[in-house]
Amino acid sequence: MVSVESGQRQGRARVRRTEGDLRRRQALADAAAGVRPGEADVPAEAAKVERFRCVIYLCGAPNTDITAPRQECTEYAEAFGWEITGVIEERAGLLSPHGRDGLGRAVEHIKSGEAGAVLTAWRSMISSVPQEYDEVAREIEKAGGFLHVKDSAHSERRVAR
């Protein structure tokens, strides 16, 4: 009979975990098992999770009403349990994204750690030019966050018309 074992056995890989990692992993395992924070040997602070933070950025033509998109973005963020650190409204119209002060302030929210995402109602509020939109998204990602468009279907409907 042929043996399926080759005679060489690999031991478990050594994993170096910090004390904080071990506590966090234990807290996650306890939460999955239904153990409440403080009931186990894990400190209650290990189970605390901060809410994700975002900044809402809206841009429109000089005389447009953007209260509806603002409300939609606010409701969208609240539905995900996101904390809104700021709302930046700009009336720049078709100005390039690089020339907008408000968009720069939104990116600063990411760089400073105040927010993890820039939330906007429509893709066109960043730029209708795909290359410019991609540049802004990359800039936000380099700063440590991401750009999230609430209603990508809105811009697709406009293109289809």
- What's the confidence (pLDDT) of residue 113? 95
Collapsing DSSP to helix, strand or coil, 86 comes out as strand
Would you say the C-alpha torsion 122, 126, 130, 133 has a positive or negative sign? Answer: negative
Torsional class of 38: left (φ above 0), alpha (ψ -120 to 50), beta (otherwise):
left
Q: What's the whole-number mean pLDDT along residues 136-140? A: 97
Q: Are strands 83-90 and 146-149 parallel, antiparallel or unpaired?
A: unpaired
Q: Please tell me the predicted confidence (pLDDT) of residue 105.
A: 96
- pLDDT score, position 28: 82
pLDDT in tens, 51-103: 899 999 999 988 899 999 999 999 999 999 999 999 999 998 778 898 899 99
Query: Measured in whole angstroms, how far is the alpha carbon of residue 19 from the centre of its chain?
Result: 27
Cβ atoms 84, 98 nearer than 8 A: no
Q: Both ends of the chain: CA-CA distance in Å? A: 71
Domain ranges of the chain: 16-49, 53-160
From the number of C-beta atoms within 10 Å of its C-beta (0-12, 13-18, 19+), residue 113 rates as exposed
Q: Does domain 53-160 have CATH number 3.40.50.1390?
A: yes
